C-alpha cells in the first residue's frame, strides 16, 4: 500500500509549473468522439482520470496516442460503438460526458452511471432534462443510462434549474450537432466550460456565450480535426497558492491564468498573505502567520468548492475564528474528521464549518477521503509539527500530476513510500 510521508515544518520557496486543467481535459477528450478527423490536444495533464477516459475512448474504437508526456492525439473517425458500460466508466464521475458526446455523434448513448468523489447526493436530473429537451428519450436501467433518438437531435431552449458544470457541458455537447440553434440559460461559467466551448469552436462548432449566463449553439453537421491546447488547472494552481500561504515562504505559481484565481487571491490577501499577479503567474509570499476569514463557496466566479478543503486547512492554523460555508455540495466536509485527528478545532453545523485556529497542527496518520481532501491533508502535513502519513493516495493520483515532486521542489519534505 502506498502512503505519503510528510515531515512538517518546512517553508515553501521557489517556482512551480501548473499542469493542464483536469476538469477541462475530462470534458474535451470525450468531445473528440464527435470529431471527424484527427485531434491533437496539448497541455493534457498526465493523471489517472485522464488516462482512464482516454482508455475508454480507445475501448470504443478511437485511435489514441500520446505524442509527448502532455500531448494526446485522438482519431475517433472510425468509432461505431455508442455503448460504454465497462467498470472503468463507473470509476470516474466525468464519464457522464460520454452521454452528451455519443448522443451528439450517434443520437444514441448507453453509458453506465458514474462514480467519482462522494459528496452525498449527486443527481443528474438536469443532464437528463437537457437530453430530453433535445428530443432524446432517456431510460435508466439500474445503473445504465440509455438515451436515444430516432433521428438527429433537435435544437431547443433549456433553462437549467441549478447551475451545474456537468449539465452545462453535457447539454453543450449534445446540442453541438443538433438541428437548429439551442439556447441554454442559467449555465455554469467555470473556466473549463469556456475551454470546452473554445475546443468545440476550433473543431468547427458554433458555440457562443460560454462564460456568461446564456450559451447559444448553432448545430453543425460535422466537426473537423485540429489542434487545441488545454487551459492551466485553476484548482491545482489554487492548491499550491494555499500551500505557500499556509506554510509561509515565497512561491511563484507559473503557467496559470491569474484572473481565474481572483476569488482565492482576494481571500489570501484578506488573511494576510501578499499576492502579486503577473501576466501568467502569481507570487504568494507569507510569514505563515495568517488571520481567520469567512469563505462561502459558489459557482464561478465565486470561491471554488474544489478549494474549500485546502482553505479550511489553512484557516485551521490561522489566528482567530473563521466560518466556511459550502454553497455547492450538500456534503463536502468528510475530511474534517481527519483534520481533527491532526489537532484542528472545527465544528460542523449544517453546511458550515466553524473553525477556531490552533497554534499548530500535529502529524498523524490520516486518510484521503476524496481528491481535494487528499490535497488538503498534504497541506496540513506540511504545516504540522511532526510526521504525517496520508493513506488512499488513489484519490490524489486521480487529479494532481507529480504532486509530491512539485511539493518537494518547493522544499517540502514529502516522499511516497510503498509498504
Q: Which stretches of the chain bind ligand EPZ, using CB under 6 A?
A: 23, 26, 93-94, 117, 121-127, 162, 164-167, 188, 305-306, 328-329, 371-372, 399
Q: What is the smallest separation between the CB atom of 53 and ligand EPZ, expressed in angstroms?
A: 10
Nearest-approach distance from CB 9 to ligand EPZ, in angstroms:
28
Q: Looking at beta carbons only, is 55 or 125 nearer to ligand EPZ?
A: 125
Q: Which residue carries 505559481 as its cell?
A: 253
Give 198-201's long-range contacts (Cβ < 8 A, gap of 24+).
Answer: 198/228, 199/28, 199/31, 199/41, 199/228, 200/31, 200/172, 200/176
CB of 97 to ligand EPZ, least distance (A): 8
Q: Give the separation between CA 243 and CA 401, rounded to whole angstroms.
A: 16
**Closer residue to ligand EPZ (CB): 22 or 341:** 22
Q: Which of 39, 117, 176, 376 is catalytic?
A: 117
Q: Is 342 exposed, middle or buried (0-12, 13-18, 19+ CB in 10 A)?
A: buried
CB of 413 to ligand EPZ, least distance (A): 26
Q: Which three cell numbers stand for residue 157?
A: 431552449
Q: Which of residues 26 and 109 has its CB atom nearest to ligand EPZ in the complex?
A: 26
For the CB of residue 81, give the shortest distance to ligand EPZ in the complex, in Å. Answer: 23
Closer to ligand EPZ by Cβ: residue 10 or 234:
234
Q: Is the CB of 94 or the CB of 231 nearer to ligand EPZ?
A: 94
Cell of 11: 517553508
Which residue's C-beta sits nearest to ligand EPZ?
166
Judged by beta carbon, residue 245 or residue 328, the one nearer ligand EPZ is: 328
Q: Which is nearer to ligand EPZ, 231 or 328 (CB)?
A: 328
From start to end of 113-234, where are the E strands?
137-141, 144-148, 157-159, 181-185, 206-208, 214-218, 223-229
Which contiguous run of DSSP H or E holds residue 367? strand 365-367
117 counts as catalytic: yes
Q: With DSSP H G I counted as helix, E B as strand and the rest as coil, what are the percentages for the chain, rounded to 5?
A: 35, 30, 35
CB of 27 to ligand EPZ, least distance (A): 7
| Closest residue by Cα to residue 328 from 196, 126, 162, 115 | 162
Q: 3-class SS at 412?
A: coil
Q: How far is the CB of 289 from ligand EPZ (least distance, A)?
A: 29
Cα separation, 93 vs 357, whole angstroms:
34
Distance, in Å, from the CA atom of 401 to the CA atom of 101, rounded to the nearest integer, reads 26
Which is closer to ligand EPZ, CB of 11 or CB of 372? 372
DSSP string, 231-246: PB-HHHHHHHHHHHHH
Q: How far apart are CA 349 and CA 386, in angstroms?
A: 30
Distance between CA atoms of residues 93 and 113, nearest Å: 8
Taking the complex as a whole, the smallest distance from the CB of residue 209 to ligand EPZ amounts, in Å, to 18
Please state, in angstroms and as integers, the Cα–Cα distance from residue 87 to each residue in 83, 90, 144, 305, following that order. 12, 5, 11, 28
Backbone angles phi, psi at 90, to 5 degrees: -70, -20
Give me the active site residues, please: 117
Amino acid at each position: 500500500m502506498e502512503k505519503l510521508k510528510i515531515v512538517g515544518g518546512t517553508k515553501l520557496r521557489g517556482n512551480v509549473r501548473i499542469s493542464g486543467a483536469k476538469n477541462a481535459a475530462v470534458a474535451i477528450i470525450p468531445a473528440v468522439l464527435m470529431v471527424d478527423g484527427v485531434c491533437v490536444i496539448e497541455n493534457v495533464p498526465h493523471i489517472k482520470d485522464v488516462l482512464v477516459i482516454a482508455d475508454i475512448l480507445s475501448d470504443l474504437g478511437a485511435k489514441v496516442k500520446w505524442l509527448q508526456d502532455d500531448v494526446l492525439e485522438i482519431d475517433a473517425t472510425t468509432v461505431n460503438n455508442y455503448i460504454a458500460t465497462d467498470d472503468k466508466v463507473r470509476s470516474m464521475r466525468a464519464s457522464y460526458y460520454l452521454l452528451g458526446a455519443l448522443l451528439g455523434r450517434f443520437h444514441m448513448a448507453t453509458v453506465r452511471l458514474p462514480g467519482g468523489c462522494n459528496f452525498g447526493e449527486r443527481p443528474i436530473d438536469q443532464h437528463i432534462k437537457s437530453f430530453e429537451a433535445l428530443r432524446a428519450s432517456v431510460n435508466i436501467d439500474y445503473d445504465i443510462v440509455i438515451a436515444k433518438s430516432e433521428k438527429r437531435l433537435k435544437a431547443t431552449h433549456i433553462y437549467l434549474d441549478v447551475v451545474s458544470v456537468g449539465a452545462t457541458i453535457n447539454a453543450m455537447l449534445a446540442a453541438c450537432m443538433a438541428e437548429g440553434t439551442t439556447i441554454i440559460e442559467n449555465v455554469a461559467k467555470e473556466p473549463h466550460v469556456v475551454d470546452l466551448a473554445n475546443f468545440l469552436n476550433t473543431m468547427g462548432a458554433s458555440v457562443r456565450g460560454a462564460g456568461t449566463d446564456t450559451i447559444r449553439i448553432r448545430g453543425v453537421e460535422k466537426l473537423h480535426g485540429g489542434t487545441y491546447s488545454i487551459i492551466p488547472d485553476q484548482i491545482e494552481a489554487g492548491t499550491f497558492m494555499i500551500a505557500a500561504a499556509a506554510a509561509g515562504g515565497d512561491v511563484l505559481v507559473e503557467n496559470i491564468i491569474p484572473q481565474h484565481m481572483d476569488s482565492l487571491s482576494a481571500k489570501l490577501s484578506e488573511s494576510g498573505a501578499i499576492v502579486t499577479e503577473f501576466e501568467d503567474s502569481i507570487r504568494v509570499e507569507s510569514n505563515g502567520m495568517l488571520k481567520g476569514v469567512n469563505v462561502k463557496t459558489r459557482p464561478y466566479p465565486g470561491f471554488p468548492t474544489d478549494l474549500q478543503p485546502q482553505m479550511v486547512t489553512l484557516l485551521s492554523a490561522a489566528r482567530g475564528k473563521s466560518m466556511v460555508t459550502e454553497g455547492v455540495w450538500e456534503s463536502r466536509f468528510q475530511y474534517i474528521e481527519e483534520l481533527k485527528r491532526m489537532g484542528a478545532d472545527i465544528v460542523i453545523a449544517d453546511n458550515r464549518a466553524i473553525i477556531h485556529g490552533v497554534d499548530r497542527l500535529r502529524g498523524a496518520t490520516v486518510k484521503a477521503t476524496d481528491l481535494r481532501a487528499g490535497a488538503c491533508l498534504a497541506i496540513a502535513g506540511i504545516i504540522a509539527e511532526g510526521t504525517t502519513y496520508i493513506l488512499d493516495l488513489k484519490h490524489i493520483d486521480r487529479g494532481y500530476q507529480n504532486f509530491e515532486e512539485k511539493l518537494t521542489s518547493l522544499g517540502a519534505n514529502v516522499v511516497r513510500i510503498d509498504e
